[in-house]
Amino acid sequence: MLALTVKANTSLELTVTYAGNTNATIDDVAKRAHVSAMTVSRYLNDTGPVAAKTAQRIHAAIVDLNYIPHQGARALAARKTNTIGLILPEMNDIFFFQLIRGVQQAIAGQQIDLLLYSAATRGKPDVLNLPLGPHNTDGLLVFTDGLDETTLRRLHAKQFPIVMLYRTPPADLEIPTVLIENRQGAYDMVTHLVRCGHNRIAFLAGSADNEDAVWREAGYREALAAHELALISPLCASADFDEAAAANVVTHWLATGQEMDAIFAADDVSAHGAIRAVQAAGLGVPDDIAVVGFDDALLSQYIDPPLTTVRAPTEEAGRRAAAQLLRLIEGDSAELLTLLPTEIIIRQSCGWLSSNADTSQNHPTTKPD
Amino acid sequence: MLALTVKANTSLELTVTYAGNTNATIDDVAKRAHVSAMTVSRYLNDTGPVAAKTAQRIHAAIVDLNYIPHQGARALAARKTNTIGLILPEMNDIFFFQLIRGVQQAIAGQQIDLLLYSAATRGKPDVLNLPLGPHNTDGLLVFTDGLDETTLRRLHAKQFPIVMLYRTPPADLEIPTVLIENRQGAYDMVTHLVRCGHNRIAFLAGSADNEDAVWREAGYREALAAHELALISPLCASADFDEAAAANVVTHWLATGQEMDAIFAADDVSAHGAIRAVQAAGLGVPDDIAVVGFDDALLSQYIDPPLTTVRAPTEEAGRRAAAQLLRLIEGDSAELLTLLPTEIIIRQSCGWLSSNADTSQNHPTTKPD
DNA sequence: CTGAAAGCGCTAACAG
DNA sequence: CTGTTAGCGCTTTCAG
């Protein structure tokens, strides 16, 4: 579409515009609609009244010029980026997609962009080395250790909105966080094993410095106590959330004659390792030894036997965290702790009820600790 | 850290600064380092010479003030956002992570952010409804149909840098694209089946409007011809990349007495469906009928029997596409077509060589068509 | 309901 | 090697 504009000046000024071909600014729109830029801005942001007729002209001008507001300028003037950031330590599991999808749902239709970062830093080392921060976002979602504590403290000191995910903030920081019911989930799983008739329940713990791991072990111990089962020390070892490590531990147990009728692995990956080891020793899962995990990883329903495990509402975690962050950004107060319930997914690896595969049950939310 | 600055004015002006607590600007840094903002800018961007001593003072000021440059302002002044966008139609498969990871590798250490978007639109309907575009990115990576052709044309008309992924751009548009060797991969797979002794090779095609599907079928047909095998029309049906549809087709074939010794499914999902159907009919895979797929989905190595399939270098696709986009943004020329080789992954479902599982072989790159 | 003026924080283009 | 002058495109006052 070719448009000709002839301005009635002393010298005939001829402006040829390939509409949509040029990067129109708010002033171009304003001129074309015969209003001031301010009115266009009001129209755009619903930040003040605009007469219906005026609005129509502005609308037409915007369409004609194929106008797109410039985020940078907007951010500068309004001191708002309309962008939130999500920092992930890594991206290697569908798990993160569920999380991201939740975040996207929460910001859908709100004129907010999502900036994503995983690990890595850059730039001059002295310039507070932040890929995502106050300079390009209005707030940050931090998953587990995506940000070190020092940086966290600095940003928090700047009053920068932050919501954590799957990580408890330093006690003195008052940063809202979204956690899942690790403790309760583990507790429920042990209870289920007990109901299935298991007494000697071994535990493959995760890394000691991992928050999820700590809560899961706590739930395990509590459940044992609640069911008046003694904790058998040698049957509680760390497998570091690692498949090979888990297999080694179990193989060692079996080789040294440890007796157990169930193994609760602190995550599905180590559960897979445990199953491998049990089977390699010529024993059956769940007939000789039951094995259960935690996480409900994608593969867990496909392995043999399908794994009984604990599932957390990942997508909802993302949604809730983003919602809290938006509140923070709006200046509203946010919930300091959002604790999401986990559910146990009963498949075949735990023995009993094997017909009832994939049945799940919800559990009430309670505070950890 | 508490800093006191006393300005020697007529009235004693006392400025109390909680360093790092305030959002320092380039001017603050400049003042503190007793230089102009311009010099700080030069220091920051290596865009001109700065004396060592001056640099030191600037450095100190930056650290003291916990300064972070404002992206928005930078974008506005420099007419550059230092951000690229990636548009995905959806995010539901690890596949996309491999892609994203590739992109991140390509922009690592280059002061460039990655903005992510999947589907959805927002805002006033007249304002060209683009979540990602010239207003917040310097260029766009568009995966398959993340962007409709109209928008694509508009952006291209604005000379906006775009690189496509897994999609051929409209013939008249000169948009660089990164594709994978669908045709050659399919050709190689059929060749492998022939080598395994199969003659009657059925084909489960994908959707006709899907570019990958079209090339894969072309490769299948070519290979048949090359090996002087007739195309058996009834044994070439569409399964729409759908597991249930695939199962239905195969069940129908079997019920109507069609004879075949192998089924080549245009993607792993339909291959799974085919395997289910063959097994449900009381036949064995691969002993009675071999089944192979395309994509090497995460699950394919875990199903029974482990699936022989074709794998594409997804991460590299992301890396290459991002690299092309960066060239475009720099004003350099980019390769219009990057065609990445696929490799066949031989597992158990194709029969023969079953001991040699997971062996792979590379194939030379050739242009499609 | 609309407009004018000022400035957000930064960098380009020139000076020196 | 360093500083000055102008904006970038938008929104915020504050006036009508």
Residues A155 and A270 in one domain: no
Is residue B358 scored above 60 in pLDDT? no
- Does A271 map to a domain? yes
Q: Which of A194, A191, A166, A193 is nearest to A181 (CA)?
A: A166
| Stronger pLDDT, B107 or A176, i.e. the higher one | A176
For B68, the closest of A101, A116, A133 (CB atoms) is A133
- Does B322 map to a domain? no
Domain CATH for B72: 3.40.50.2300
Residues B142 and B262 in one domain: no
Segment among A21-30, A272-281, A334-343, B155-164 with least mean pLDDT: A21-30
Q: Is B356 exposed, middle or buried (0-12, 13-18, 19+ CB in 10 A)?
A: exposed
- Does A33 map to a domain? no
Cβ–Cβ of A68/B154 closer than 8 Å? Answer: no
Q: Distance (Å) from the C-alpha of residue B23 to the closest C-alpha of chain A?
A: 7
Taking only the tens place, the pLDDT of each residue in B163-215 is 999 999 999 999 999 999 999 999 999 999 999 999 999 999 998 888 999 99
- Does A236 map to a domain? yes
Protein contacts on strand C: list nucleotides below 7 Å from a Cβ.
1-5, 7-13
- Bridge partners of residue B141, in order along the sequence: B86, B163
| Res. B21 pLDDT band, cuts 50 70 90 | very low
For the residues A244-250, what does the mean pLDDT come to? Answer: 96
Residues B307 and B207 in one domain: yes
Residues within 8 A of A (CB atoms), B 291-330 only: 298-299, 302-303
| Res. B15 pLDDT band, cuts 50 70 90 | very low
Taking only the tens place, the pLDDT of each residue in A288-329 is 999 999 999 888 988 889 999 999 999 999 999 999 999 999
Is residue A254 scored above 60 in pLDDT? yes
Q: Give the DSSP letter of residue A164.
A: E
Residue A292 has what pLDDT? 97
- Does B276 map to a domain? yes
Q: Which of A72, A74, A65, A75 is nearest to A23 (CA)?
A: A65
Instruction: Provide the CB-side half-sphere exposure for B154 (13 A, CA).
Output: 20
C1’ C16 / CA B280, Å: 86
Q: Got the DSSP string for B332-359?
A: ----SEEEE--EEEE-STT-SSGGGTTE
Last residue of a domain, one of A117, A145, A175: A175
Q: Which of B279, B273, B213, B285 is nearest to B248 (CA)?
A: B273
Residue A122 has what pLDDT? 41
Q: Give the DSSP letter of residue B175.
A: -
Last residue of a domain, one of A116, A151, A175: A175
- Does A88 map to a domain? yes
Q: Which of A363, A359, A323, A322 is nearest to A340 (CA)?
A: A363
Residues B75 and B139 in one domain: yes
SS3 A117: strand
Residues B212 and B304 in one domain: yes
Is residue B78 scored above 90 in pLDDT? no
Is residue B368 scored above 80 in pLDDT? no
Residues B245 and B113 in one domain: no
Residue A9 has what pLDDT? 28
Q: How many helices (H) and strands (E) does chain A have?
A: 11, 15
In chain A, whose CA is at the least distance from the CA of B79?
A: A72
Segments of A126-235 assigned E as strands: 139-143, 162-165, 177-180, 201-205
| Stronger pLDDT, B320 or A157, i.e. the higher one | B320
Residue A128 has what pLDDT? 52
Calculate the average pLDDT of chain A.
Answer: 84
- Does A336 map to a domain? no
Residue B129 has what pLDDT? 58
Q: Count other Cβ atoms within 10 Å, centred on residue B172.
A: 7
Taking only the tens place, the pLDDT of each residue in B131-141 is 788 888 899 99
Instruction: Confirm whether any atom of chain C, the nucleic acid strand, is less than 7 Å from CB of A50.
Output: yes
| Res. A219 pLDDT band, cuts 50 70 90 | very high
Structure tokens at A172: 């003195």
Residues within 8 A of B (CB atoms), A 106-135 only: 108-111, 113-118, 120, 122-124, 126-128, 130-135
Residues A204 and A259 in one domain: yes
Cβ–Cβ of B135/A69 closer than 8 Å? Answer: yes
Q: Distance (Å) from the C-alpha of residue A331 to the closest C-alpha of chain B?
A: 18
Report the phi/psi class of residue A358: left, alpha or beta, with left for phi > 0 and alpha for psi in -120 to 50: left
Instruction: Confirm whether any atom of chain D, the nucleic acid strand, is less than 7 Å from CB of A108.
Output: no
C1’ D15 / CA A38, Å: 13
Residues A163 and A193 in one domain: no
Q: Which of B152, B162, B159 is nearest to B128 (CA)?
A: B152
Q: Is A129 exposed, middle or buried (0-12, 13-18, 19+ CB in 10 A)?
A: middle
Segment among B12-21, B275-284, B305-314 with least mean pLDDT: B12-21
For the residues B81-96, what does the mean pLDDT come to? Answer: 84
Segment among A244-248, B92-96, B357-361 with least mean pLDDT: B357-361
C1’ D9 / CA B305, Å: 60
Contacts of A97 in chain B (CB under 8 A): 91-93, 96-97
Last residue of a domain, one of B175, B210, B240: B175
| Res. B321 pLDDT band, cuts 50 70 90 | very high
- Report the share of chain B in percent with pLDDT over 70: 86
For A91, the closest of B76, B97, B120 (CB atoms) is B97
Cβ–Cβ of B20/A299 closer than 8 Å? Answer: no
Whether B153 has its CB under 8 Å from any CB of chain A: the answer is no
Domain that holds residue B106: 2-24+66-175
Residues A154 and A274 in one domain: no
| Stronger pLDDT, B216 or B146, i.e. the higher one | B216
For the residues A6-20, what does the mean pLDDT come to? Answer: 30
Taking only the tens place, the pLDDT of each residue in A73-88 is 888 888 888 889 998 8
Segments of chain B assigned E as strands: 2-7, 13-18, 83-88, 113-118, 139-143, 162-165, 177-180, 201-205, 236-238, 262-265, 290-292, 309-311, 337-340, 343-346, 359-361
Kindly list the distances between the CA atom of residue B207 and the CA atoms of A33, B211, B220, B344, in Å, as whole numbers in the listed order: 46, 9, 15, 22
Q: Count other Cβ atoms within 10 Å, centred on residue A24.
A: 21
Asked whether the CA dihedral A232, A237, A242, A246 is positive or negative, the reply is negative
Is residue A364 scored above 60 in pLDDT? no
Question: Closest nucleotide (CA of B76 to C1')?
Answer: D8
Is residue A12 scored above 70 in pLDDT? no
Residue B175 has what pLDDT? 96
Cβ–Cβ of A135/B68 closer than 8 Å? Answer: yes
Structure tokens at B220: 């299948």
Residues B79 and B128 in one domain: yes
- Does B279 map to a domain? yes
Segment among A130-144, A325-339, B217-231 with least mean pLDDT: A130-144
Q: Which of A146, A144, A143, A114 is nearest to A130 (CA)?
A: A146
Residue A132 has what pLDDT? 83
Is residue A367 scored above 70 in pLDDT? no
For the residues A57-70, what does the mean pLDDT come to? Answer: 87
Residue A345 has what pLDDT? 96
Residue A353 has what pLDDT? 53
Residues B220 and B84 in one domain: no
Residue A102 has what pLDDT? 92
For the residues B312-337, what does the mean pLDDT come to? Answer: 94
Instruction: Provide the CB-side half-sphere exposure for A185 (13 A, CA).
Output: 33
- Domain count for chain B: 2
In chain A, whose CA is at the least distance from the CA of B118?
A: A104
Residues B168 and B78 in one domain: yes
Calculate the average pLDDT of chain B.
Answer: 84
- Report the share of chain B in percent with pLDDT over 90: 56
Residue B13 has what pLDDT? 30
Q: Count other Cβ atoms within 10 Å, centred on residue B36.
A: 13
For the residues A36-40, what does the mean pLDDT come to? Answer: 90
